[in-house]
Amino acid sequence: MRWLASQEHTLFLGQGVRYSGHAMFGTLEDAEVPVEKRYEMPVAEDMQMGISIGLALQGYIPVSIYPRMDFLIIAINQLVNHLDKMEEMSHGEYKPKVIIRTAVGGKEPLDGGIQHTSDYTEGLEKLLNNVDVVKLEKPGAILNAYKWALSNDNSTILVEMTGLYNA
């Protein structure tokens, strides 16, 4: 996150990006991501994706954070019907770039339950044509995956495994 925050035009938005509340917050704090690059959002996942798309259309590269993949499902409308199809709908005039950071919740030491630990990676891959989906299962691959996502022409969903945060 430190490397990503150092890149021009990146900003971070989502629930718990400025205030503690989930494991991803710690990854921003530990990386010393500047507070002025973090935009706290209310619990309104579909709106968050819409705002992310709007920011991307203005030249920013939003890192839109959904602390659980289960919560990203609420943003499917904006993700599938807008971000994934924008270039085609605009005949190539607009191609917003959003980096979507989400996680499959861990089941240990506490099991968060089925509503916080589901993995929809395969489903998203089937739904999306122009947004890449990358599952991060090894700690050593994470930095390179984020570097690739930033240089990639498409928007990217990076699926983290919260069980790896202390690896």
Strand order in the sheet with 61-66: 38-40, 10-14, 61-66, 99-104, 155-161, 131-136
Q: What is the CA radius of gyration of the chain?
A: 15
Whether a cis peptide bond, with omega within 30° of 0, leads into 34 is: no
Q: Which two tokens stand for residue 143?
A: 């930095």
Q: What is the pLDDT of residue 110?
A: 77
| Dist CA 162 CA 27 (whole Å) | 11
Give residue limits of the domains in the chain. 2-164
| Dist CA 85 CA 87 (whole Å) | 6
**CATH fold for the domain made of 2-164:** Rossmann fold (3.40.50)
Q: What is the pLDDT of residue 67?
A: 93
Report the percentage of the chain scoring pLDDT > 70. 99
Letter string b/e over residues 8-35, b meaning 16 or more CB atoms within 10 A of that residue's CB: eebbbbbbbbbeeebbbbebbeeeebee
The residues of the chain scoring below 50 in pLDDT are none
pTM over 0.85: yes
Question: Could you report the per-residue pLDDT of 82-120, keeping only the tens digit for each?
Answer: 999 999 999 999 999 999 999 998 777 777 788 888 999
| Dist CA 156 CA 142 (whole Å) | 13
Q: What is the pLDDT of residue 97?
A: 97
Tokens 């917003």 appear where? 96
Dihedral pair phi/psi, residue 109, rounded to 5°: -75, -15
Residue 38, Cβ neighbours under 10 Å: how many?
21
